[in-house]
Amino acid sequence: MAEAFVTLTSEIQAKSPSISFINSNKGKPLLVADDYTFKLNKTTTTTKYWICTINGCAAKVHTDLNNGLMKTVGNHSPLPGKEKLE
pLDDT digits (tens, 9 = 90+) for 3-53: 444 433 334 444 677 899 999 999 999 999 988 999 999 999 999 999 999
Residue 44 amino acid letter: T
Q: Work out the average pLDDT over 60-77.
A: 92
* Sign, Cα dihedral of 74, 23, 80, 34: negative
In a domain, 10, yes or no: no
In a domain, 5, yes or no: no
For residues 48 and 67, is the Cβ–Cβ distance under 8 A?
Answer: yes
CA 68/CA 64 separation, integer angstroms:
5
CATH assignment of the domain containing 56: 2.20.25.240
pLDDT(71) > 90: yes
pTM of the model: 0.71
CA 57/CA 68 separation, integer angstroms:
22
pLDDT recorded at residue 24: 93
In a domain, 80, yes or no: no
pLDDT recorded at residue 82: 57
In a domain, 67, yes or no: yes
Range of the domain at 59: 19-73
